[in-house]
A and B are shown apart, each in its own frame.
Chain A
Amino acid sequence: MGEPVVELHAITKRFPGVVANKDIELTVHRGTVHAIVGENGAGKSTLMKILYGVQQPDEGTISVEGRARQLKSPADAIDAGIGMVFQHFQLADNFTVLENVVLGAEKLHGIGDGARRTVQEISDAYGLDLDPDVLVEHLGVGAQQRVEILKVLYRGARIIILDEPTAVLVPQEVDELFDNLRELKAEGLTVIFISHKLDEVLSVADAITVIRRGTTVAEVAPKDVTARDLAELMVGSELPSPSTEESTVTDLPLLSVESTSLDNPLGGRPLLTDVNLTIHSGEIVGIAGVEGNGQDELVEVIMGIREPTSGRILLGDVDTSSWHTREIREAGIGYIPADRHRYGLLLEAPLWENVVLGHQTEPVYVTGPGGTLINGAAARQEAEAVVEQYDVRTPSIHVTAGSLSGGNQQKLIIGREMRREPKVLVAAHPTRGVDVGAQAAIWDHIKQARRAGLGVLLISADLEELVGLSDTIHVILRGRLTGQFDPDRVTKEELGAAMTGATATEGAA
């Protein structure tokens, strides 16, 4: 193992209301692939943003290749030899590979033959297999990712951070990426690899650091641990189990999705193909899948945000496929969107207005002739109730939603939906980014409502949550429901295999 190239000591970063990172200790050695694993919201991304100069730590020291560094901006990080490949690519589709690589780094090798030669050399040296003159829009996702890696190398990076690089890849592309990573480390480069997929981490990493609730809890070698050990380290023993008690499932169907398909307006593979599922009163139906396999679209079709190309959505026995979102919400479907900032909140509006959002036509919030006026007093009263019952930590209901921490924003959304006593709750990642205590409280609220007959469609990236809460689990893969599992019997490995469309052993090869 080479000498240490990145050393983080006692890194702490606070955001209003939360501590994102606390006393982080991390040492990465030259020529290794170093994985950083942790659950969603554990603080991995904040840590990497600190290392890439996007955010500055409140405490702690960073040294790169033996020199103490103050990384005040990405430019400083690049200067120190650190490059980052983000999960969401930052490429111009209508530019060639060469143009994308050179963009913003014209000073290094010009924009002509010198640049082309360098791009070709790097591509050959690390087996990236990229033609400099191909338009990026003609490349697959895996190749686009390699363009991002090439960009970073072109700028002289010796330490490359990859943020959840496999989230967007199919299994075969994952294998190719791992081959590339092995090439990189063979050439003496260092890779920091962020993931929460344990099988992948075990197959590619030389060292693994586990982050839990914002702090580093262990550093282990992959040969010494199993996926199960890692999962335990990530989750921690104090995590309350979401497991449901006795079944409350009835045979009264509340919401049925019948052979529903949704074409991709941009062409290509349909976003949803022949989806069938039924949610009964008192039942929690979980959807497991790698992000971007149609979960968002399924939710949007049910909520009336998109109209399905074919098929029917039934609420009870009423066809709601052509209903508008407002009618669907009025009919008693609660909605917890995956992206609370974009779809769940008005960040610059006060909390009490956010409590009304999505329920503007509910009798409790309206007044006047025909319910055309908003009843501000009632809305504020409800907001106070939500804040109290759902433990939203805020000094008042008049502060803007944007000034709350993420976990408290999520509790506000949960509270506003649950207070209206929905018949069906469509919940996408209901506990993403909330702390452990709040997570348990949210689970309790959902379980309680379920006993009273609530039907839930639960979409989650947290398998623990899915297995623990659900009565039935469907796996979604490329827009199709590819398997149904009983959460009491299924193992995480089986689910993981079904989610990627491969078997567990192949995935780890």
Chain B
Amino acid sequence: MTSRFDLRRMGMALSAPILAIIVAVLVTSAILVAAGDPVGEVWGTILSVPRPRVVVAIINAAIVYYISAVAVAIGFRMNLFNIGVDGQYRIAAFAAAVVAGEGWLPGPLNILLGLVVAMLAGGLWAGIAGLLKVYRGVSEVISTIMLNAIATVLVAFLLRKVAPQTGSNIVSTKPLPESSHVSGLPLIPGVSREVYGLIILAVLIGVVYWFILGRTRFGFDLRATGRSESAAVASGVNVKRMVLLSMILSGVVAGLVGMPLLFGQDYAYGTTFQPGLGFAGIAIALLGRNHPVGIVFAAFLWAFLDQQSNALQITAGVSDRLVLIIQGVIVLSVVIAYEVVRRLNVRIEQRRVAQALAAQAADVKEGAPA
């Protein structure tokens, strides 16, 4: 017996989000019924097969969501709630747009410079919250929320300073030079819209996240701190340092959230740059259970719901805001479901261990061959 209980664990892990989605469907349907809206048509629209153009939109949205959720997940894994991804990615996107817009370096090097600037800016902004927590005991929840507000104002203020005077209503940074555009990938045939070239960035982030957490000593310390801070301290983890480092790391990844948009679609940072990605990241990280693969599914589900709900107004006469209810209920139920499953898991495993010991008391050495 290998006793990794892998199949059972995976089954349990999957049952929670599926349960949460079912609950969300039921609750949303109940709301629709209560409001006298056409339940069937709503689900028909949301669950219809998306057209190729929408598929591209879903993939693109999921790319950005994925990066945002990984940024949040890094904090979550050690019980840090980085609510500030939202401010971090906007500061970072702005800084990157300003620097890359100057076109100091040729082509790909300029893109790289932009990415580095974004990582630095995001890391620094998150680092403020980290420093406050380590040296002044300020809860990172409070400080990151405040820093979000400050980021909004700061970016708006600086944007006015750097924006070229064009006379147009849209204020934005100097556009990137043509050579710094990351061309899209024509993954879906038959549509002119392309998938962001920086999908590669999201994949890379996922792989690095998995590797650092699962394979490195730093990741071990981080997970240990998240599981039990007291045990981590006793084992020699410098928790203050870990808090600061993981906050900065979370900010570095957060800094990259806006990059696919900047280099693949907008080519400048302006007042129309997509907001709210950081908050979606929190929900997606929760749903994906902070797992590098789990978050992929969660990001796609989120993006799918977003895009499919666009047509609701036309086909079913229901506001596309409905999707917020669905997403909200999913997050609430998934949090509850995970806790239920976790406790169930603990109990089941205790029982299984006791049974296994009783059944084969002598057979201890035949554990898993690793």
B357 touches A303 (CB 8 A): no
A326 touches B238 (CB 8 A): yes
- Chain A residues, Cβ within 8 Å of B230: 342-343
Nearest neighbor of A344 in chain B, beta-carbon distance: B231
Q: Is B227 an interface residue (CB 8 A)?
A: yes
- Chain A residues, Cβ within 8 Å of B231: 342-346, 357
A394 touches B227 (CB 8 A): no
- Docked Cα-Cα span, A368 to B3, in Å, equals 28
Min C-beta distance of A361 to chain B, whole Å: 7
Q: Which listed segment binds B: A118-126, A134-142, A380-388? A: A380-388
- Chain A residues, Cβ within 8 Å of B7: none
Q: Is B315 an interface residue (CB 8 A)?
A: no
- Chain B residues, Cβ within 8 Å of A348: 227, 346
- Interface majority SS on B: helix, strand, loop or mixed? helix
Min C-beta distance of B352 to chain A, whole Å: 7
Min C-beta distance of A307 to chain B, whole Å: 13
1/0 per position for B337-360, CB-CB distance to A under 8 A? 000000000100111111011001
- Chain B residues, Cβ within 8 Å of A360: 217, 220-221, 235-237
Q: Is A404 an interface residue (CB 8 A)?
A: yes
Q: Is B228 an interface residue (CB 8 A)?
A: yes
Q: Is B234 an interface residue (CB 8 A)?
A: yes
- Docked Cα-Cα span, A403 to B364, in Å, equals 15
B227 touches A402 (CB 8 A): no
**Could you say which of A326, A330, A381, A400 contacts B370, with CB atoms under 8 Å apart?**
A381
B228 touches A399 (CB 8 A): no
- Chain A residues, Cβ within 8 Å of B5: 398-399
Q: Is A204 an interface residue (CB 8 A)?
A: no
1/0 per position for A340-371, CB-CB distance to B under 8 A? 00111111110001001111110000101001
Min C-beta distance of A364 to chain B, whole Å: 13
**Could you say which of B3, B219, B233, B354 contacts A398, with CB atoms under 8 Å apart?**
B3
- Docked Cα-Cα span, A359 to B349, in Å, equals 26
Min C-beta distance of A392 to chain B, whole Å: 8
- Chain A residues, Cβ within 8 Å of B361: 393
A335 touches B234 (CB 8 A): yes
- Docked Cα-Cα span, A393 to B364, in Å, equals 7
Q: Is A396 an interface residue (CB 8 A)?
A: yes
Q: Is A92 an interface residue (CB 8 A)?
A: no
- Chain B residues, Cβ within 8 Å of A356: 220
- Chain B residues, Cβ within 8 Å of A345: 228, 231
**Could you say which of B218, B236, B356 contacts A395, with CB atoms under 8 Å apart?**
B356
B3 touches A374 (CB 8 A): no
A397 touches B368 (CB 8 A): yes
A403 touches B346 (CB 8 A): yes
In this complex, which of A324, A368, A403, A404 has the most chain B Cβ atoms within 10 angstroms of its Cβ?
A403
- Chain A residues, Cβ within 8 Å of B271: none
B234 touches A303 (CB 8 A): yes
A372 touches B218 (CB 8 A): yes
Nearest neighbor of B228 in chain A, beta-carbon distance: A346
- Docked Cα-Cα span, A374 to B233, in Å, equals 18
Q: Is A70 an interface residue (CB 8 A)?
A: no
A373-B216, A374-B220, A403-B349 are contacts. A394–B236 as well, Cβ < 8 Å? Answer: no
- Chain A residues, Cβ within 8 Å of B367: 384, 387, 394-398
- Docked Cα-Cα span, A82 to B233, in Å, equals 40
Q: How large is the interface on A (under 10, 10 to 19, 20 to 34, 35 or more residues)?
A: 35 or more
A358 touches B236 (CB 8 A): yes
- Chain A residues, Cβ within 8 Å of B136: none
Nearest neighbor of A14 in chain B, beta-carbon distance: B354
B216 touches A372 (CB 8 A): yes
A404 touches B235 (CB 8 A): no
B235 touches A399 (CB 8 A): no
- Chain A residues, Cβ within 8 Å of B223: 349
- Chain B residues, Cβ within 8 Å of A325: 233-238
Interface residues of A in 386-443 (CB under 8 A from B): 387-388, 393-400, 402-404
Q: Is A337 an interface residue (CB 8 A)?
A: yes
- Docked Cα-Cα span, A377 to B215, in Å, equals 11
In this complex, which of B1, B218, B364, B370 has the most chain A Cβ atoms within 10 angstroms of its Cβ?
B370
Q: Is A329 an interface residue (CB 8 A)?
A: yes
- Chain A residues, Cβ within 8 Å of B233: 305, 325, 343
A396 touches B236 (CB 8 A): no
- Chain A residues, Cβ within 8 Å of B228: 342, 345-347
- Chain A residues, Cβ within 8 Å of B360: 395
- Docked Cα-Cα span, A47 to B224, in Å, equals 34
Min C-beta distance of B223 to chain A, whole Å: 8
B217 touches A373 (CB 8 A): yes
- Chain B residues, Cβ within 8 Å of A324: 236, 238
- Chain A residues, Cβ within 8 Å of B365: 384, 388
- Docked Cα-Cα span, A346 to B353, in Å, equals 17
A16-B351, A394-B357 are contacts. A402–B3 as well, Cβ < 8 Å? Answer: no
Q: Is B161 an interface residue (CB 8 A)?
A: no
Interface residues of A in 137-177 (CB under 8 A from B): none
Min C-beta distance of A353 to chain B, whole Å: 7
- Chain B residues, Cβ within 8 Å of A387: 364, 367
A343-B231, A374-B217 are contacts. A329–B236 as well, Cβ < 8 Å? Answer: yes
- Chain A residues, Cβ within 8 Å of B238: 324-326
- Docked Cα-Cα span, A347 to B342, in Å, equals 12
Q: Is B4 an interface residue (CB 8 A)?
A: yes
- Docked Cα-Cα span, A371 to B235, in Å, equals 17
A16 touches B4 (CB 8 A): no
- Docked Cα-Cα span, A395 to B5, in Å, equals 11
Q: Is B2 an interface residue (CB 8 A)?
A: yes
Q: Is A17 an interface residue (CB 8 A)?
A: yes
1/0 per position for A314-325, CB-CB distance to B under 8 A? 000000000011
B236 touches A326 (CB 8 A): yes
- Docked Cα-Cα span, A380 to B369, in Å, equals 9
- Docked Cα-Cα span, A356 to B235, in Å, equals 9
**Could you say which of B220, B237, B346, B354 contacts A326, with CB atoms under 8 Å apart?**
B237
- Extra 19 A-B pairs, beta carbons < 8 Å, given A360-B220, A398-B5, A403-B350: A16-B351, A16-B354, A324-B238, A325-B234, A325-B237, A326-B237, A344-B234, A349-B227, A353-B220, A360-B235, A361-B236, A373-B215, A374-B216, A374-B219, A377-B370, A393-B364, A397-B368, A399-B349, A403-B349
Mind listing 12 A-B residue pairs with CB under 8 Å? A324-B238, A342-B228, A343-B230, A358-B234, A360-B221, A372-B217, A374-B220, A395-B356, A396-B4, A398-B367, A399-B5, A399-B352
> Which 8 A-B pairs give the minimum distances between C-beta atoms?
A326-B236, A396-B3, A395-B356, A16-B354, A358-B235, A343-B234, A396-B367, A325-B236
Chain B positions near chain A (C-beta within 8 angstroms): 1-5, 215-221, 223-224, 227-228, 230-231, 233-238, 346, 349-354, 356-357, 360-361, 364-365, 367-368, 370
